[in-house]
Chains A and B, each alone.
Chain A
Amino acid sequence: MSVQQAPVIPPPAGGLPPRSRARRLRSSRGAALRGWAYAAPTALFVLVFFVLPILLVGQMSVSDWPLLAGNRGFNAPDNFRDAVDNRFFWDSVVFTLTYTVIATVLLIGLGLGLALLVQESGRWKGFLRTAILVPSALGLASASLLFYALYSPQSGPISPLLEALGLVEGPVSFLGSPGAALWSTVFLIVWRFAGFYMLLLLVGLQGIPHDVFEAARMDGANRRQTFARITLPLLRPSLALCTIMCVTGSLLAFDQFYILTKGGPDNSTITVVQLIYNVAFQGQNDLGIAAALSFIVLAALVVINVVQFRAMRAPEGK
């Protein structure tokens, strides 16, 4: 709201008058001031909701800080040592990375396939786009609850349906084994997010000028050549955006596993964020160790994202 209180200086009509140097200086200082004023609200939000919490978490990560008892003073680096020594730490790292690779490959692949499919004009185009996009309108927690019911061995309809169709013998346990729980969750995520990534890639596809395709066609390129030499390279920025969003989102996965599996069965589906939650609120109740874990995750995310940006940008420099 402070935007409205910012000093509004009407832009000088027809550019700067050439004669007065002093005036130009003053006016550029005014512009700088105006710029700061415009940026101030965002800066304030970043400060209050990003920088301060990080500092607080930083303080927690170097303090003995039980959930119920509060700050008991500096104890670094005990929290970081305990965090890495946690008996689920490496399991959760490996599981999170596995899940991220599976989810990213499936989501980007399917998203691209669906985008290409619905881009072609046809009588089903509108229906298809809507059908694929609708799950994205559902919150992730609601979607997880929906699938919890669908997968339920007591009341879920999917297992009896598969049995009735003769596809399986005996009831299917969707969340009963480590592998089944992982793939059942991946299925939910694909159902929920494929439409979203389809939309992002569709925007990218439609941003490619038609004349490029026309030129390729006139040069005698077939469909596969067009896709590999025209579509993919020109879609690069969109693909980069999707990959980075998907990787980051998957590394921070929590809701779906918290609701569907709670880390089970047999502690096989604990993601890093879930480990943070468990340490903070379910048992150990130690905010210091949880904050240390959060910092480790933050550092890993920054590194992974920097690497991704480098990788995505490289060919443009050539």
Chain B
Amino acid sequence: MTNDRKRSTVTRMTSAAVIGLMALGLAACGTSGSGTSPGADPGPGAGGVEGVDDGTSLTLWTRAPMEQQAKLLVDAYNASHENQVDLTIVPNDDYVAKVGAAAGSGGLPDLFAADIVYVPNWVEQGLFQDLTGRIDELPFKDEINAGHLEAGTYDDAAHVLPFVLDISVLFYNKDLYEQAGLDPEAPPTTLREMAEHAKAVDALGGDVDGTFFGGNCGGCLVFTWFPSVWAAGDEVMANDGTESLLASETAQEVYDIYADLVASDAVGAGTRDETGATWVAPFQEGKVGVMPYPATLLATTDESVDVGVAPIPGPDGGASTFVGGDGIGISKDSESSDQAWHFLSWMMSEDAQVEVLAKNGDVTSRADLADNEYSSQDPRVVTINEVASQGRTPVARNFQQAFNAPTSPWLTLIRNAVFEGGTTVPEDNDEITAVLQQ
């Protein structure tokens, strides 16, 4: 009796132990066939520069932060073409796992977007088809955002086009500025000035805070703090993304300014714990004075807050931005690459860039379309477009592990420097370099 019970319980326990293993096992099923390189396609392919529009059903995956723009683009395409795109939105945190599992089993959709910082690694792993020949045929090739194109270029072959550009800019709450006695038309031009403004707004009291940032979110911090380093003319990485320069004097100044804001309690409650799930929420609720913010959220945020927009400055001036967002390419598993290219070439056209993206207040992926009938109506969009052209996209193969992962050494560096008043920046920076070189 005891023995029977023992055996069955052992089995049950071991089964429980293996549920985790099974998840891995399933994710990796059939991975063996995926080492092959994507179908090399140097030429423009069937249908020429426009691709083929013959009523094929295409699948497209993207991650949740790009939901609004992806839906607008797909709806506009489906309404005006024979091909029909079926859009799947995946939660941000699950996207890498989902793409990884699909890549292993040969089940990638025809088209999929990727966070631009992951693109170099994914291209190198052969998840995207070579689009060099097709992109070269585009008459406006030189106008396409260079940072995104470069991130998708491996061995001189281009694989990825910009899907949605998400750049970081300063958002400030004009109502709160006025209440705090600041000029709502004079945004900060240096990071130090931003800190002063934040403290002034914070002095209003109540549930209003000066500024906010994702203190436990590596991806948010990369997006919002790198520009301050670039604005001062410095670099964040060297040697093709294998060496971290984040212990430079400029970088230290940036950390010190934010550390001072934390020390004087001008940051919102929860800044320290913010893992990225809700880092944009407090500003949208009108509780934050000024903070670096994703420009894609201008339309959404405008519904609840009177938003002012300015470029992200360096400690003593300058301006830059992180040209993030998603790149998109045709997957190695797609059997309808001519039709999938049709969607991509339409996406780069004036119809899509101006009539869909710019109309929604988004940045266009083509420099020649930055000035358009919609952008000129809103000076804030003009600001965003101007700063986009000064922006940067960092390229590193191990970007995710070094910066975005919850266990990343970058997060350790920031938390030590900003919350612990630490002096460990050089050591922590060495750890980032070590991970970048793995």
In the complex, A211 has a CB within 8 A of chain B: no
Contact A266 B2 (CB under 8 A): no
Q: Give the distance to chain B from A95, nearest Cβ to Cβ, in Å.
A: 13
In the complex, B407 has a CB within 8 A of chain A: yes
Contact A248 B13 (CB under 8 A): yes
Name B60-114 residues within 8 Å CB distance of A: 96-97, 99-100, 103-104
Contact B10 A301 (CB under 8 A): no
Name A279-309 residues within 8 Å CB distance of B: 280-285, 287, 290-291, 294, 297-298, 301-302, 305-306, 309
Contact B278 A152 (CB under 8 A): yes
**Which of A57, A70, A278, A313 touches B406 (beta carbons < 8 Å)?**
A278
Contact A57 B24 (CB under 8 A): yes
Q: Give the distance to chain B from A242, nearest Cβ to Cβ, in Å.
A: 12
Cα–Cα distance between A276 and B2 once the two chains are bound (Å): 34
In the complex, B186 has a CB within 8 A of chain A: no
**Which of A52, A66, A261, A301 touches B14 (beta carbons < 8 Å)?**
A301
Q: Give the distance to chain A from B308, nearest Cβ to Cβ, in Å.
A: 22
Contact A283 B216 (CB under 8 A): no
Contact B278 A298 (CB under 8 A): no
Name B260-276 residues within 8 Å CB distance of A: 268-270, 272-273, 275
Name B176-218 residues within 8 Å CB distance of A: 216
Contact B401 A53 (CB under 8 A): no
In the complex, A129 has a CB within 8 A of chain B: no
Contact A53 B2 (CB under 8 A): no
Q: Which stretch of B25-33, B167-175, B348-356 is in the interface?
A: B25-33
In the complex, A37 has a CB within 8 A of chain B: no
Q: Give the distance to chain A from B246, nearest Cβ to Cβ, in Å.
A: 17
Contact with B along A77-112 (1 / 0, CB 8 A): 000000000001000000000000000000000000
With A54-B21, A276-B24, A305-B13 given, is the CB distance from A283 to B405 under 8 Å? Answer: yes
With A69-B126, A309-B6, A313-B2 given, is the CB distance from A297 to B17 under 8 Å? Answer: yes
Name B385-438 residues within 8 Å CB distance of A: 398, 400-401, 404-408, 411-412, 415, 438
- Interface residue count on the B side (C-beta < 8 Å): 60
Contact A68 B16 (CB under 8 A): no
Name B1-42 residues within 8 Å CB distance of A: 2, 5-6, 9-10, 13-22, 24-29, 31-35
Contact B282 A71 (CB under 8 A): no
Q: Give the distance to chain B from A275, nearest Cβ to Cβ, in Å.
A: 8
Cα–Cα distance between A98 and B268 once the two chains are bound (Å): 32
- Interface residue count on the A side (C-beta < 8 Å): 62
Pick the most buried of A56, A71, A267, A283: most chain B CB atoms within 10 A of its CB: A283
**Which of A241, A254, A264 touches B275 (beta carbons < 8 Å)?**
A264
With A65-B28, A71-B35, A154-B282 given, is the CB distance from A262 to B275 under 8 Å? Answer: yes
Contact A173 B268 (CB under 8 A): no
Q: Give the distance to chain B from A269, nearest Cβ to Cβ, in Å.
A: 10
Contact B20 A241 (CB under 8 A): no
* Residues in A whose Cβ lies below 8 Å from that of B24: 57, 60, 276, 280, 287, 290-291, 294
Contact A283 B18 (CB under 8 A): no
With A71-B32, A278-B405, A287-B24 given, is the CB distance from A53 to B18 under 8 Å? Answer: yes
* Residues in B whose Cβ lies below 8 Å from that of A263: 406-407
Cα–Cα distance between A261 and B406 once the two chains are bound (Å): 9
Cα–Cα distance between A69 and B125 once the two chains are bound (Å): 6
With A249-B16, A309-B10 given, is the CB distance from A153 to B270 under 8 Å? Answer: yes
Cα–Cα distance between A252 and B19 once the two chains are bound (Å): 10
Interface, chain A (partner B; CB < 8 A): 49-50, 52-54, 56-57, 60, 65-72, 88, 148, 152-154, 171, 173, 175-176, 237, 241, 244, 248-249, 252, 254, 261-267, 270, 273, 276, 278, 280-285, 287, 290-291, 294, 297-298, 301-302, 305-306, 309, 313, 316
Interface, chain B (partner A; CB < 8 A): 2, 5-6, 9-10, 13-22, 24-29, 31-35, 96-97, 99-100, 103-104, 121-122, 125-127, 216, 268-270, 272-273, 275, 277-278, 281-282, 398, 400-401, 404-408, 411-412, 415, 438
Which 7 A-B pairs rank lowest in CB-CB distance, beginning with the nearest? A153-B270, A283-B401, A283-B405, A70-B31, A53-B25, A67-B100, A70-B34
The contact sample of 26 A-B pairs, CB cut-off 8 A, is A49-B22, A50-B15, A57-B25, A67-B27, A67-B28, A67-B104, A68-B121, A68-B122, A69-B126, A70-B33, A70-B35, A153-B270, A153-B273, A176-B272, A252-B16, A252-B17, A264-B406, A265-B272, A281-B100, A283-B405, A284-B401, A294-B21, A297-B17, A298-B14, A305-B14, A313-B2
